[in-house]
């Protein structure tokens, strides 16, 4: 499979993804501009990943303008001929939910004008229909179109499966292919075979490999794909390399050099400066939001296939569920479970759930859907209820085909459950479900007296992230971030494990309610925030009283988060038998806020 080891292997520094695979925030634009010269002085990078993903939203959460951030951050690399690339999610573009076609098209025009050269586009389901518009719009906007294959390991995800996708996106006009090994579970030999087949059929196509190190395969995968013909490898730098993040450039460069490839020199003084500045940013404030587990590799990820970046949120979910689960264990005369035991059980449940939901690649947002379903299955089975009792509406959207076609068949029990609920499967183009919205957003900006911005970049940002953009414009976002940061700094003497503050569980007896209502279904907070049982009600005692009728899928209340309202959705139709807190009480993600009896 070795085609020519005297080729040059080029490196891309994924500086954005390094941070977003570690914690909640990326550096502010002033910090990015501080580190950019040192990255350039390393002299070993042909590309740098500068933006995309949650980058825009993070800037809005700071109360800063993301358009200014992208323009300033990409500029120094352009001056020296280093290409910049961004990540976008196909149908979802730069957010977690679907985006209208006209807003998607505007994105590429805006990002090209701001200095981003390459659009790395992926679909969580690898549906070519979702990728087609990304390719066409990127090229129309003057960008290089790089299609990312969401890599995973299953009986469905074969070399032939991926080549079928490659054939389609090359026909659409894609310039490059990225192997996006987001969980790092792609097997090295298989990845090498895939690269070899792509290069054999499409020798003009540039191939870039992106692999997280979580379960430990990625260095071997990098060697295999390089030998098979890959052109670029994504790497990181300390102190944010390895763990659940990406391999460090020093190790990968030396490995490639020893194997006979040509690689650029690396300036170690500059490397140490990038390393020092990255640690400085962590020490400044970013470390408060980095989960320590993301610095650690784990072979447990091989079986479940969850991406390493999810580990922090998953452990927070488990902590929120632990009280309810152990109450059920005690009620059934079983010993309580430690957090580690729960983690292993959740991994095992993910392994059970994943094939039955059609093997969706475990990348945002499908990884969250599978994990959430597994978590609810775990809770329900420990309470003596059947699996699949609780499936949220977003997961149902994936199951029913509203996000695209699942790679594998659904299990018969899932199909039957959908029929029992009267749900209809959708086989049309997912984009058709989301009509154009730019005229609507133009009108709203006119009414607000806001300018659409250079190259209509402000219009784009408003249409892409309306809620966060309004908070940025009003000043609420900056005020909120500064308040949160001040609270974090006040706790600076606390151990690193508490950098993500955990709200205490509500002061109620879970065991008592579990015994009293053994068949009641809990309603859990979807995010950290404050309970809002009735919107715009000042009475802090406002809450549903026992006996209140509720319907499955209709909100019984809300959680006020830092970014807006999240609905509290009961999974069943019935009546409220208990609530755990009053209006305004603080809750953590996953905490039980009510019990519903069918």
Domain boundaries, the chain: 10-291, 301-426, 510-597
Q: For residue 361, how many C-alpha atoms fall within 13 Å in the half-sphere facing its CB?
A: 28
Q: What is the DSSP string of 86-116?
A: EEE-GGGTTSSS---HHHHHHHHHHHHHHT-
- pLDDT tens digits, 248-270: 999 999 999 999 999 999 999 99
Q: What is the pLDDT of residue 232?
A: 98
Please name the CATH architecture into which domain 510-597 falls: Beta Barrel (2.40)
Q: What is the pLDDT of residue 537?
A: 34
Q: What is the pLDDT of residue 1?
A: 42
Per-residue pLDDT band for 6 (boundaries 50, 70, 90) equals confident
Output the CA torsion sign for 581, 477, 55, 35: negative
Give me the count of residues in the chain. 598
Task: Report the mean per-residue pLDDT for the chain.
Answer: 88
| pLDDT value at 559 more than 90 | no
The predicted model gives 285-310 an average pLDDT of: 83
Per-residue pLDDT band for 536 (boundaries 50, 70, 90) equals very low
Comparing CA positions, the residue from 358, 389, 361 lying closest to residue 373 is 389
Percent over 90 (pLDDT), the chain: 63
| pLDDT value at 146 more than 90 | yes
Q: What is the pLDDT of residue 252?
A: 98
Greater model confidence, 520 or 103: 103
Taking the CA atoms of residue 407, residue 413, residue 417 and residue 423 in that order, the dihedral angle to the nearest 10 degrees is: 30
- pLDDT tens digits, 76-90: 999 999 999 999 999
| 309-337 residues labelled b (16+ CB within 10 A) or e (exposed) | bbbbbbbbbbbbbbbbbbbbbebeeeeeb
> Do the domains 510-597 and 10-291 match in fold?
no
Q: What is the pLDDT of residue 544?
A: 60
Per-residue pLDDT band for 5 (boundaries 50, 70, 90) equals low
| pLDDT value at 233 more than 70 | yes
| pLDDT value at 13 more than 90 | yes
Of 189-193, 371-375, 496-500, 585-589, the poorest mean pLDDT is in 496-500
The predicted model gives 484-509 an average pLDDT of: 54
Q: What are phi and psi of 476, to 5 degrees?
A: -65, -40
Q: How far apart are CA 420 and CA 550, in angstroms?
A: 20
Q: Provide the CATH topology of domain 10-291.
A: TIM Barrel (3.20.20)
- pLDDT tens digits, 337-390: 888 888 888 889 999 999 999 999 988 889 889 988 998 898 888 878 899 988
Q: What is the pLDDT of residue 585?
A: 78
SS3 434: coil
What's the burial of 593, exposed, middle or buried (CB within 10 Å: 0-12/13-18/19+)? buried
| pLDDT value at 153 more than 50 | yes
Q: Strands, DSSP E only, in 296-387?
A: none
Q: What is the pLDDT of residue 543?
A: 55
- pLDDT tens digits, 209-220: 999 999 999 999
Helix axes 128-140, 101-114, angle to 10 degrees: 40
Q: What is the pLDDT of residue 462?
A: 97
Q: How far apart are CA 74 and CA 16, in angstroms?
A: 12
Q: How far apart are CA 497 and CA 290, in angstroms?
A: 9
């Amino acid at each position: 499979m070795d085609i020519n080891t005297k080729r040059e292997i080029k490196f891309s520094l994924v500086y954005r993804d390094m941070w977003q695979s570690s914690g909640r925030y990326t550096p502010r634009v002033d910090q990015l501009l501080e580190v950019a010269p040192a990255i350039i002085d390393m002299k070993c990078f042909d590309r740098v990943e500068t933006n995309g993903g949650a980058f825009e939203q993070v800037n809005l959460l700071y109360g800063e303008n993301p358009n200014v951030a992208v323009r300033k951050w990409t500029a120094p690399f352009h001056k020296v001929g280093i290409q910049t690339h961004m990540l976008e999610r196909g149908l979802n573009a730069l957010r977690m939910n679907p985006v209208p076609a006209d807003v998607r098209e505007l994105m590429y025009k805006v990002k090209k004008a701001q200095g981003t050269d390459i659009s790395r586009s992926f679909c969580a389901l690898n549906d070519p229909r979702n990728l087609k518009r990304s390719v066409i719009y990127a090229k129309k906007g003057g960008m290089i179109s790089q299609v990312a294959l969401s890599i995973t390991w299953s009986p469905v995800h074969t070399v032939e499966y991926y080549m079928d996708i490659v054939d389609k996106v090359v026909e659409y006009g894609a310039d490059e292919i990225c192997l996006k090994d987001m969980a790092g579970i792609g097997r090295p030999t298989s990845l090498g075979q895939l690269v070899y087949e792509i290069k054999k059929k499409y020798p003009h196509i540039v191939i870039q490999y992106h692999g997280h190190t979580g379960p430990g395969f990625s260095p071997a995968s990098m060697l295999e794909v390089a030998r098979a013909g890959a052109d670029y490898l994504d790497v990181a730098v300390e102190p944010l390399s390895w763990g659940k993040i990406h391999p460090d450039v020093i190790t990968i460069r030396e490995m490639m050099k020893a194997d006979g490839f040509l690689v650029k020199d690396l300036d170690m003084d500059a490397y140490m400066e990038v390393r020092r500045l990255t640690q400085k940013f962590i020490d400044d404030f970013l470390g408060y939001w980095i989960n320590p587990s993301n610095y650690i590799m784990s072979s447990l990820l091989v079986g479940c296939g969850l991406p390493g970046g999810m580990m922090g949120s998953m452990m927070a979910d488990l902590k929120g569920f632990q009280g309810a689960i152990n109450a059920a264990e005690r009620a059934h005369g079983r010993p309580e479970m430690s957090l580690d035991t729960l983690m292993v059980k959740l991994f095992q449940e993910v392994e059970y759930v994943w094939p039955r939901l059609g093997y969706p690649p475990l990348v945002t947002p499908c990884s969250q859907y599978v994990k959430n379903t597994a978590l609810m299955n775990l809770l329900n089975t420990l309470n003596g209820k059947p699996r699949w009792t609780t499936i949220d509406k977003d997961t149902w959207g994936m199951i029913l085909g509203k996000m695209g076609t699942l790679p594998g068949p659904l299990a018969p029990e899932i199909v039957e459950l959908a029929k029992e609920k009267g749900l209809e499967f959708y086989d049309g183009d997912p984009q058709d479900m989301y009509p154009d919205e730019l005229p609507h957003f133009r009108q709203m900006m006119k009414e607000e007296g806001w300018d659409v911005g250079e190259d209509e970049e402000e219009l784009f940002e408003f249409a892409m992230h309306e809620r966060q953009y309004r908070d940025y414009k009003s000043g609420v976002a900056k005020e909120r971030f500064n308040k949160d940061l001040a609270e974090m700094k006040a706790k600076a003497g606390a151990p690193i494990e508490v950098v993500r503050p955990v709200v205490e569980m509500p002061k109620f007896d879970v065991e008592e309610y579990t015994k009293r209502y053994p068949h009641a279904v809990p309603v859990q907070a979807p995010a950290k925030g404050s309970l809002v049982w009735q919107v715009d009600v000042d009475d802090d005692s406002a809450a549903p009283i026992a006996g209140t009728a509720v319907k499955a899928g209709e909100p019984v209340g809300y959680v006020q988060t830092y970014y807006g309202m999240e609905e509290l959705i009961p999974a069943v139709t019935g009546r409220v038998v208990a609530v755990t807190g009053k209006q305004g009480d603080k809750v953590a993600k996953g905490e039980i806020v009510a019990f519903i009896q069918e």
